[in-house]
Amino acid sequence: MAQVFTSFKGDLKLLLQYTQLFPLCFAVFVSMLGFGLVMPLLPIYARSFGATGIQLGFLTASFAITRAITTYPGGWFADKMGRKKPIVMGLLMYSVVMALYGFTEDVNQLIFLRALQGVASGIVWPIISTMVVDMVNPKDRSKALGFYEMMWFLGMIIGPGLGGILADAFTVAVPFFVCGALAFLSMLLVALTVQETATIIKEEKSSAISRTASSEDSVKGMKKWTLYPIVFLGLCITRFIIAFSNSLIQPVLSVYANEVLGIPTAEVGILFTARGIIMLFATLPMGTVADSVGRKSTLILGKVVNALATFLIIFSGGFWPLLFLMMLRGFGRAAINPSLTAIFSNVASVSKRGRAMGIFNAFQNVGLVVGSSIGGFLYEMSSSETPFIACFIVALVGVIVVLFTVSEPKDSRL
């Protein structure tokens, strides 16, 4: 335990040298605090308007469709005009949309606002992760992305529990107003404290272009994005599978806990908070493990743990077993995210990193669209357990894809 704590302190000390990383990640924390307030409540909120399982799937799918459409244009804009402007605009849009949730009167309005939220998400989150990668040396990317994920999950820890308390004390609409205010605060933090990183990319472009210009003239397709096209494609497919499998249960997990297992709304929030706590404390150490022993191995470990925990949910039967499984899912995600993004950032060309991240996240969004639509349909038309079984099977397919297509490039400074 002492060794883990010492390593954790060392990682934080190392990251302190990147002074712009902390205000950016703090803005992420504030935004995710607001996001966490409402996400476990959104399916329950939709149910209060009479939403069916299929409509719950559409609620997630509408978000993913619009996010998929906007990720690449957002990445292009970030590469051409800078990272900061689209982040500020996207967070401002977030704040307005989240506040409007509190005024909705039917499911169709919720779906429309969820689609607008997807536009904001497609602009903001791929560019923020690109900005984090811009700020640090390649050897520290997993640690930096781990810290970014840690601040993300810290907001998600506090948010769901607080959202459940606010919903019980007032109405389900109140957490959405609070979320809008926090998103606006996050926008101000980025606008006033974070410096543009695109100038760093311009300084680094010359070496990247010199290595890739000749190949861009003669090689079409993915080779204009990367020197490792098979790995690039494998990572994109992996991103799709992760999103597809998780979104099979995302629209119905809180409803399953609330309606099938009889867990009260406030305790549903605690389940997501517990998952976030594990993510918080595991993400930075798992980023360190990934940098030390291998990102591919860490990625596979996370995917296997996540798959098994998801399958066992159908046998949980109540709050405490489900709490343990949600914590296991948190550990799995803590192992997956920094490893996957770090491998991809090393594979993508520096001069096109924003657009490459847009493509990477577009695969995720397509997975969300397909998975959430199918998950809601399975929950409504088959049985409440079917989405969890399907998630497990698809996740195992994802492990096979990683094993046979993904490798870590020797030139981590591409």
DSSP 6: H
Three-state secondary structure call for residue 226: strand
Distance between CA 187 and CA 177 in Å, rounded? 16
Distance between CA 225 and CA 219 in Å, rounded? 11
Distances (CA, A) of 225 to 87, 138, 192, 244, 408: 23, 18, 33, 24, 16
Write the class of the CATH domain 18-202+209-405: mainly alpha
Under 8 Å between Cβ of 205 and 350: yes
pLDDT in tens, the chain (414 residues): 455 455 556 666 666 677 778 778 887 787 777 777 777 788 888 888 888 888 888 887 888 788 888 877 877 777 777 888 888 998 999 899 989 988 988 899 999 998 998 888 878 877 887 788 888 877 777 778 778 877 877 877 788 778 878 888 888 888 888 888 888 988 898 888 887 766 544 444 444 444 444 434 434 556 666 778 899 999 999 999 999 999 899 878 988 998 899 998 778 878 887 887 888 788 878 888 887 888 999 999 999 999 999 999 999 999 999 999 999 999 999 899 889 988 988 887 766 776 787 788 789 878 887 888 898 889 888 889 999 999 999 999 999 999 999 988 764 444
Instruction: Tell me if the pTM is above 0.75.
Output: no
What residues does each domain of the chain span?
A: 18-202+209-405
Distance between CA 317 and CA 295 in Å, rounded? 35
* pLDDT confidence of residue 331: 94
Phi, psi of 226, deg, nearest 5: -160, 155
Under 8 Å between Cβ of 402 and 299: yes
Partners of 348 in the β-ladder: 226
Distance between CA 86 and CA 94 in Å, rounded? 12
> Residue 185 CB: number of other CB atoms within 10 A?
16
Under 8 Å between Cβ of 305 and 342: no
